[in-house]
Structure 1
Amino acid sequence: MPKKPFADSKLARFVDQRILELRPKKSQAEIAEIAGFTNANFLSMVKSGVSKLAIDRVPALAKALECDPAYLLRLALEQAEGNTAAVAIFEILGDPISENERGWIAEIRDASGDTDPRLTQRSRIALRTIFLK
């Protein structure tokens, strides 16, 4: 039985979940085809954690999974932990920010009058309350 070094990765869980969510619209084979994978089994290998997702495959897979490419990139970079290229990307650019996260940031800027507010303990608690954490 092949090892699954990425089985517990956020990326593997996310890909598995998105495939399930998209099942009424398209099959896993169709997703693999849209993403440009010549071997449809590769998508199974990614979602089961046998293989990691190459960074250059992120845009096409994000399109096929109908998800934010920045979010998928972040998950792929996390999966590539220890990879010097991934480390360099995080060091230079920081975490990729999804479109949804950009919306939150825009709202914070608007609500604060674009004053660059600090994240205080009070604001942290308020934010975590929104997400029931």
Structure 2
Amino acid sequence: MYLDRRIAKLKPAKTQSQIAADPEIPNPNMVAMIKTGASKLALDCVPSMARALKLEPAYLMHMAIEGLIAGNVAQEGIAVFGTLVIENETTWLEALREVSNETDPRLTARAWKLLFAVAVR
């Protein structure tokens, strides 16, 4: 699960107990309950959980909505809002628009390879 991976990634700097003890997390048991699947992340807790986990709030909100709403309804909601674009991706899009003079360039195979080389480092 994504939350498990995120907690593991933060582990050198912040343990699960430290995350759960964050003053912005309303219930210290919430992290464990969400991680084990005993509970779902409430939408009103997304901003505080995102800060505690050092995540993009929009991304965590998207995941929380998917977790709360089942099946076709979730997919229809996601279709209405479109592809989620997080903060760093927005910066990339703005740069692409600037360097292309707003020409809406097509993603060619060559451009894909260049982008991959830059993004993967």
Task: Classify 1:50/1:131 alpha carbon distance in 2 versus 1 (closer, same or farther; 3 Å).
Answer: farther
Task: Classify 1:24/1:125 alpha carbon distance in 2 versus 1 (closer, same or farther; 3 Å).
Answer: closer
Cross-structure match for 1:93: 81
Cross-structure match for 1:60: 48
Task: Classify 1:124/1:19 alpha carbon distance in 2 versus 1 (closer, same or farther; 3 Å).
Answer: same
CA distance in 2: counterparts of 1:129 and 1:45, whole angstroms:
39
Please say if residues 74 and 95 of structure 1, whose CA atoms lie closer than 8 Å, have aligned partners that are also in contact: no
CA distance in 1: counterparts of 2:72 and 2:17, whole angstroms:
29
Please say if residues 19 and 28 of structure 1, whose CA atoms lie closer than 8 Å, have aligned partners that are also in contact: yes
Please say if residues 73 and 96 of structure 1, whose CA atoms lie closer than 8 Å, have aligned partners that are also in contact: no
Cross-structure match for 2:25: 36
- Larger RCO (CA under 8 A, 6+ residues apart): 1
> Match for 2:41: what amino acid?
L
> Match for 2:87: what amino acid?
E
Please state how far the C-alpha of 1:25 moved relative to its aligned partner: 4.8
> Match for 1:66: what amino acid?
K
Please, which of 105, 116, 127 is the counterpart of residue 104 of structure 2? 116
Q: Structure 2 length normalisation: TM-score? A: 0.71
Please state how far the C-alpha of 1:61 moved relative to its aligned partner: 0.7
Identity of aligned residues (%): 40
> Match for 2:26: what amino acid?
F
Q: Structure 1 length normalisation: TM-score? A: 0.66
1:82 matches 2:65: no
1:102 matches 2:51: no
Residues matched between the structures, number: 118
CA distance in 2: counterparts of 1:74 and 1:129, whole angstroms:
28
> Match for 1:101: what amino acid?
E
Cα RMSD of the aligned pairs, angstroms, is 2.8
